[in-house]
Amino acid sequence: MGDQWAGSDDEIASAVLASSPNAVVALDRDQTVLVWNDAAERMFGYPAHEVLGRRAPIVPDELVAEHNAVLERVRTGEPVSLRTKRLHRDGTVLDLRVDIGSLRLGSAVAGYVCVHHSARADELAGHRMARRARLVRRLTDVVADVNSELELPAVLDRISASLTELTGADAGGFVLIEGDRLRLVSTYQLPETLRGTTTDLRTSLVDKLLRTGRTVLLQSGDLGDLVWARLPGLHTIALGLAAVGGRPYGALYALFARSTPGHLELELLELLAGHAGIAVRNAVAYQEAVRQRAHERAVFDASADGIAVLDQEARVIRWNPAAAALTGLPAESVVGSEPPFPVPAAGEKVTYQLANGRWLDVVGARIEETGELVVDFRDVTAAKELEEAKDLFLATTSHELRTPITIVRGFAGTLDARWDKMSDAERRSAVRTIAERSRSLGELMDHLLLGARAGADELKVRIEAFDLAERIEGATLGLPALSDRHRVEVRVPDGLPYVLGDALATDIVLGQLLENAFKYSPQGGLISVAAWLEDENVVVVVDDEGVGIAPPDRERIFERFVQVDSGDRRRFGGVGLGLYIVRSLARAQGGDVSAHARPGGGTRMRLVLRGTSSIRSDTPMR
């Protein structure tokens, strides 16, 4: 034992007797008093020194025979508990309950131990138990009454009203947990204007209750900063958590201004809050069923995914419009037969290509109650194509990187090994080749970096007015010397308006469009650049007489990693990022770029930028 219990066993026993709230009297077999504790002094009025060693005069004469019989029964049998009468020193008759057991020393009965307590306490406990039983029965009736309602507002109002009846609260309310907010949806004995009030969950008593891990909370003291303070005299709030499906859904507030809740009230609040969660769940389920019946057809028909419901034999019993559009099969041709794709097991996915070339991801979920299978399928053709394009991009990029690196490494190795044996012209030629291939490699890396930034929407441009005619002149100035098979013609009218955009970004766009014009017209021909004002925009076109672009590919060429095979363009290489970057830069400036067929053959690339008259005077520049 610790130091505080360092006393003898007799001292401990004396302390226990002195601290007992019940009157403890020990008698020997002749009914002489051996022990008479402090509570016995208070109950019977005799100090210990007056009764120790003699019979205590507390048994009424008419009950002596009963008392002796009880002692004999205790001596020969089990302890006895009885309600009886005893006398106070002043002659008052006390209504008591006495618990009598044998006082044993070893195996011998040396006397008796009598523990006396007021029968009034038993009556009060009985009254409490009876009241509790009545309230629990009433709670059962209330729960049945609440559960009979299926409309959520009515359910919540009945819960709030029942709360005050069962707990004796002066007012009550129910709050819903809506994300990080609380909303008061039902009140009783409170101003109607409070309904609909919202507050931050994190600063509320509900949050405090959630953090305790319990289901009830009692809060008293200064409550003036709470919305509930509208109740005059409010001094205590009891809070019970209502959960739906194991998830906190809301909370019941019992507000006390005139009485104070005890354990029974808190227990009833906890029970009612638990049943409130069940009632709310039932009402929510009912409303959900009503909504589901009302909207099922609309959702089923409006879904962008194909949805089919199959019976236990995997035959189609429902087929939505999206399913018909994706497969090309109307409902009347499919219902009653198997779907035009493999049926996955519940919870699994199948990827399947239809006869029309479209790829589908198909998943299924089993309805256990009916044995039916709900199949959802969507078009993943674009994802498949992107996956293939990425594979092609990686292969092409590896090739595009390897070629200049191989050449640079080869010429550098040659210079290192044979420098003294090479002529000056040979050395200059090798160095020139290394420089050209290094520039090509740098341009490739620039394209990869710009493509990555464009894909992450991180391209930054400055919007300001600049001279587009000057940029066109600069981009085309040295072009005639690049090829003796091409002719370059530039037609820009005098007085072409300034445009709004980023001059540097526009240089990149023009350079790429002109590079493509040369690249995809290997047999030579005319490269024509023209610009004009169109409505409030300025249009720039770059025409070539090259291999052209097939109509289905005129939009696809602006996607990342796309290198079309049609039009004999694939043989020119590249990583499929140039035109993707061009369009990203154009659109970042508020413009656009598109591909068209050139009259007479070849390709026309059309760039549109905003003219200075297309922006309001109050639009800020940045």
- Nearest to 541, CA basis, from 556, 522, 528: 528
Q: How does pLDDT run across 589-613, given as a tens digit for each residue?
A: 899 999 999 988 999 999 999 998 6
Q: How many CB atoms lie within 10 A of CB 260?
A: 12
What mean pLDDT do residues 110-133 have?
A: 73
- pLDDT recorded at residue 244: 73
Q: Is 115 helix (H, G, I), strand (E, B) or coil?
A: strand
Hey, what amino acid is at 604? R
Separation between Cα atoms, residue 336 and residue 331, nearest integer Å: 10
The counts of H helices and E strands in the chain are: 15, 23
Structural tokens at position 94: 């006390």
- The confidence band for 449, taking pLDDT boundaries of 50, 70 and 90, is low
Backbone angles phi, psi at 150, to 5 degrees: -120, -10
Instruction: Name the range with the highest mean pLDDT among 166-170, 282-286, 379-383, 464-468.
Output: 464-468
- The more confident residue out of 448 and 189 is 189
Q: Is 90 exceeded by the pLDDT of residue 51?
A: yes
Strand 486-491 and strand 525-534: the pairing is parallel
What number is the average pLDDT over the span 538-549?
93
What is the reported pLDDT for 39? 92
pLDDT of amino acid 604: 95
For residues 220 and 240, give the distance between their C-alpha atoms in angstroms, rounded to a whole number: 15
Quote the pLDDT of residue 435. 76
Q: What percent of the chain has pLDDT over 90?
A: 22
Query: What angle, 0 to 180 degrees and rounded to 10, lies between the N-to-C axes of helices 578-588 and 424-455?
Result: 50
pLDDT at position 404 over 70: no
Mean pLDDT of 447-467: 63
Contact 505, 461 (CB under 8 A): yes
pTM beyond 0.85: no
Are residues 175 and 197 in contact, defined by beta-carbon separation less than 8 angstroms?
no
In this prediction, residue 122 carries a pLDDT of 63
Phi, psi values for residue 575, rounded to 5°: -105, 5
Of 327-341, 381-395, 595-609, minimum mean pLDDT range? 381-395
- Rounded CA separation 304/300 (Å): 9
Weakest-pLDDT range from 34-48, 150-164, 443-457, 516-530: 443-457
Higher pLDDT, 313 or 135: 313
3-state secondary structure of 135: helix
CA 227 to chain centre: 29
E strand or H helix that includes residue 321: helix 321-327
Nearest alpha-carbon partner for 16 in 46, 43, 39: 39
Question: Given a cut of 50, is residue 620 above it in pLDDT?
Answer: no
The span from the first CA to the last CA of the chain, in angstroms, equals 81
- Structure confidence at residue 89 (pLDDT): 93
pLDDT value at residue 568 = 44
Going by pLDDT thresholds of 50, 70 and 90, the confidence category of residue 269 is confident
Q: What is the pLDDT of residues 310-323, one digit of tens each?
A: 888 889 988 989 88
Q: How far is CA 99 from CA 119, 146, 553, in A?
A: 12, 46, 101
In this predicted structure, the answer to whether residue 533 has a pLDDT above a threshold of 70 is: yes
pLDDT per residue over 33-44, tens digit each? 999 999 999 999
70, pLDDT greater than 50: yes
Binning pLDDT at 50, 70 and 90, where does residue 577 land?
A: low
Query: What is the dihedral angle through the alpha carbons of 302, 304, 309, 310, rounded to the nearest 10 degrees?
Result: 150
